[in-house]
Amino acid sequence: MSFDFAERDLTHIRNVLGYLERSTDFVRQTEANAVVSLGYWRARVRAIQVMPQLPMHIDKQAKELMLRLDHLESTRQARQSATQSTPGKKAETRSLASMY
């Protein structure tokens, strides 16, 4: 993977995370959906981070994205536990495709 491709991939991931951060349905999305699977995006960022001789500016971008992924994960867990602790309330699930 070239460094140019790595930068473009990080830009793409940044855009996806921006969508997820703004999405009110983020927690309700299924983990099976690759767009919402934070593990998938984390793996893509890690693949860039392990590149040999990675320029410092790309590494910095990757670290910032990992922090955003951590924040999204903690937000998801907090909302899921709040939803599960509310008796009688059924969580609604919508697919990403139904949003378009």
Question: pLDDT tens digit string along 62-83?
Answer: 999 999 999 988 887 777 677 6
Q: Is the dihedral of CA 3, 53, 39, 25 positive or negative?
A: negative
Which of 32, 41, 24 has its CA nearest to residue 76? 24
Residue 26: predicted pLDDT: 59
Other C-beta atoms lying within 10 Å of the C-beta of residue 81: 9
Question: pLDDT tens digit string along 25-62?
Answer: 655 554 445 556 888 999 999 999 999 999 999 999 99
Structure-token match 């703004």, residue found:
22
| The Cα angle at residue 67 between residues 24 and 55, in degrees rounded to 5 | 130
Give the separation between CA 65 and CA 67, rounded to whole angstroms: 5
Residue 96: predicted pLDDT: 46
Question: pLDDT tens digit string along 55-67?
Answer: 999 999 999 999 9
